[in-house]
Amino acid sequence: MDHSPDRDPNVVLRWLGRDSAGAAYHLAPLNLTWSSAGVEADLAVFEGVARRLSSDPELWSVLLKEPNWRFTLVGCVCLLVQGSREHFADLSWRLEQGSWVAPQLAVTMGLLNPELAGPALRELLEGGALEGQGRSMGAVRFVLERLEPSCPEPAHAAQGQEDALEGARVAQKLWDFWRGRLGPSSE
């Protein structure tokens, strides 16, 4: 995507920077592997970026809608560290378009906006928008089962089964981590 200089998502990666070992901070939350400083210190870096993004919601929207998963991931983590319910439409749009970080998108939607996420995720799953995106389907299915335990299995659930299982596995790891941080009010 082309961006105006004041809406260039690369600036956010520069704000995040690198840890003491030289690893880019934006990679840590991908697999929940933190620097030697620890999870609290790493998330404090994201909290600082989230505060900066709060004064520029348009840039935050750009991050979430970016096809490059790194930007989308940073946008999700910043929402989660703040517990912000903003940008639901951007999260939903990116998930529908497809993203390698679909589990992060689905979990962010489900934890921060459960009343909106249930119907939106069900529509994505049942409406066929995720057809051929096994990882996305697995993640969405996992989050839907947390939000709506009686949600029926979609007819095309067996398609892309290995990818779907991987998406669900990643979503479960993320759900458990972030739900623990956000507390019981996130369900």
**pLDDT bucket at 118, cuts 50 / 70 / 90:** very high
Helices (DSSP H) in the chain: which residue ranges?
10-16, 39-54, 57-65, 69-82, 88-97, 102-112, 114-126, 134-147, 161-182
Distance CA 69, CA 64 (A): 9
**Percent of the chain residues topping a pLDDT of 90:** 78
Give the CA count within 13 Å in the CB-facing half-sphere of 118. Answer: 11
Look at residue 83 in the predicted model and tell me its pLDDT.
96
Token pair belonging to 68: 């490059």
**Could you give the 3-state DSSP secondary structure of residue 18?**
strand
Look at residue 183 in the predicted model and tell me its pLDDT.
72
8 A C-beta contact, residue 140 and residue 124: yes
Q: Tokens 């490059």, residue?
A: 68
Give the CA count within 13 Å in the CB-facing half-sphere of 38. Answer: 2
Least confident residue range of 5-19, 51-65, 165-179? 5-19
pLDDT of 136 over the 60 cut: yes
Look at residue 152 in the predicted model and tell me its pLDDT.
58
- CB neighbour class for 70 (10 Å; exposed up to 12, middle 13-18, buried from 19): buried
**Could you give the 3-state DSSP secondary structure of residue 101?**
coil
8 A C-beta contact, residue 103 and residue 171: yes
Angle at 116 between CA 115 and CA 117, to 5 degrees: 95
Look at residue 155 in the predicted model and tell me its pLDDT.
45
Domain boundaries, the chain: 1-84, 86-187
Look at residue 120 in the predicted model and tell me its pLDDT.
97
pLDDT of 151 over the 60 cut: yes
Please state the pTM of the whole predicted model: 0.91
- CB neighbour class for 40 (10 Å; exposed up to 12, middle 13-18, buried from 19): exposed
Average pLDDT over residues 87-110: 97
Distance CA 144, CA 158 (A): 16
pLDDT of 28 over the 80 cut: yes
Number of Cβ within a 10 Å radius of residue 16: 22
